[in-house]
A and B are shown apart, each in its own frame.
Chain A
């Protein structure tokens, strides 16, 4: 048996998106187009399954994947990262045989199970037990196999008390647990997982991650798509970084994530402007242009090392008519991945509001010990002059924090397991 589990050669996938509709601007024209609309509708709908080679409807077509090739060895756990629309899900759907490629070839050595959603085919009127059978067979198990694993599945789900109750009476949490329990008992050689972890509470996510970990330790091949970089980092030694349908990088996880974040940075490097979402303009005597992260050597960085000294560099403009500003307050509010506030850095709290600020300059906030666990965070920036808010930016930039041996022990600090904050501590003997 070859040790290649997945071999992908020049895979491309073309989609037809938003079929354009022309609108007439005169009444007669509009009436005419209503009469003609069945014909044009037919032409339009026909196109859904036809692709002509001329470039005439070029802008209607997007290539979700273009010439993607890679190989995955048996037992490898591969993460796929990339911005929305990079082609991650399309790739997974082709591997799962849900959608057909436009060109190229895929070879899968081994039984495949895909987990693009938990609870596919669940019927609300059926009981938990019945849905286990239904969902299990949809995922590719046989009845015999389910018979054998039934007790285990029910046990793992933790809903044994309600197993003969229709699923529509379940809480959504119970439903997800039951569904995941079925999926967790698939035993394929190749497992494809999409962002299923996005649903469910943290405990559920932890359970999923644990299960994926367990599956990979049994020598199964796993392909895992996620936006959760922390999870990717924990699970996948190698990562495919996709951008606009192409593989940018297929490498060691750290390198791929760094490149991915660099791309992210390039896009967010443009200065904030009024059209940016979350930019609440107030009196605008002072407007914030951008914020940069500096490391302990005061170099610009894309990510912050957990526990190290770092600086926030806030750039701003002042209304041209004013020479300088006094009593300026700055606040940087750090929020976690789900945008819950963690803490605030504030000139107010430290009694250090700025005076004499000039146009087009910056202020620097030093953080001695950035004791935040690896992960992705968001920030708000607030600025006021005197008593009035001057600028208020919500979720204006992301911060990516990477692991930094905070406890000097070489142990990895897992955000999802231990929580987002790091506290220096010692354990004493008597």
Chain B
């Protein structure tokens, strides 16, 4: 059994709760199996299976290349529009998937929550982890496309894990906020679909960040995905120097989102099984 500490005290919890790291560590096997269940069952009984992980960004790329690249002739920082948009779509697809998964996670796990105790924090975090599998596959396709278009990674690629961490942090921070709120307000559930879609235009997915007026650049960077996506382009396609300003602002916002999200989640945790 997990609880090695022999004494458990149950009391009404008031106000802000610290995160019980020790307990989270004790439940690491559960976390592992939840992530693994997510991966294993996501494309169960489908013909294309894991192929779905690349179909979404590739089809978006095709449509964007036609609509924004050819028809609207949006500036793509001097690289072919196809790879310009696909490089952004890889992190963006991850982010939107992880965020939707995370924000709906508590509602879909409510059956489990009302029947057994475990640290609830593992629920919104596990989709953030499991979507990394899709991300990896889409990223491998990206490497193939880079080779086709003649882009080769430089030493700068060592910064990439930092950006990946940043997008995970953002997805889990927002996810914790939204999923804790969705228990009480189902509006979140209905809003998430188009909200995520609209958010895409707040990040430099179909256009380059260089199109944003200079005086709004830092404000623009407050959405951490702006820094992530521009960073991906700059590291892999060498469009611009690494946008440390965007990444810096984004990191601060992401940290704030993550920490406040975790605390808000812990605070609302006591109501989950009663209100869900």
Contacts and interface: CB of A to CB of B under 8 A. Distances in A.
Given A45-B184, A101-B11, A141 B273 contact: no
Interface string A290-329: 0000000000000000000000000000000000000000
Given A46-B184, A105-B9, A134-B34, 9 more contacts: A97-B8, A100-B13, A105-B10, A105-B11, A107-B9, A117-B115, A125-B44, A125-B45, A126-B41
A40 interface: no
A94 B10 contact: yes
Contact of B6 (A94, A97, A109): A109
B47 interface: no
B contact residues, range:
35 or more
B173 to A, nearest CB: 21
Interface string B245-276: 00000000000000000000000101101110
A101 B271 CA distance: 10
Contact of B116 (A104, A110, A120): A120
Interface of B: 1-3, 6-13, 27, 29-30, 32-34, 37, 40-41, 44-45, 111-118, 184-185, 268, 270-271, 273-275
Given A105-B11, A126-B41, A143-B29, A48 B271 contact: yes
Contacts, number: 123
Report the contact-size class of chain A (Cβ under 8 Å from the partner). Answer: 35 or more
A140 B119 CA distance: 11
30 contacts: A15-B274, A94-B10, A95-B10, A98-B113, A98-B114, A98-B116, A98-B117, A99-B270, A100-B10, A100-B13, A104-B11, A106-B9, A107-B7, A107-B9, A108-B9, A111-B2, A113-B1, A114-B116, A117-B115, A130-B37, A133-B33, A134-B33, A134-B34, A138-B118, A139-B116, A140-B1, A140-B118, A141-B2, A186-B1, A188-B1
A120 B115 contact: yes
Contact of B273 (A48, A99, A113): A99
Contacts of A140: 1-3, 116-118
Given A45-B185, A188-B1, A120 B111 contact: yes
A73 interface: no
A244 interface: no
Contact of B30 (A103, A123, A138, A187): A138
Interface string A158-195: 00000000000000000000000000001110000000
A164 to B, nearest CB: 13
B275 A48 contact: yes
A121 interface: yes
B112 A111 contact: no
Nearest to B109: A121
Contacts of A145: 1
Contacts of A111: 1-3, 6
Contacts of A265: none
Interface string A261-276: 0000000000000000
B30 A100 contact: no
Given A99-B273, A120-B112, A137 B1 contact: no
A106 B10 contact: yes
B112 A123 contact: no
Contacts of B273: 93, 98-99
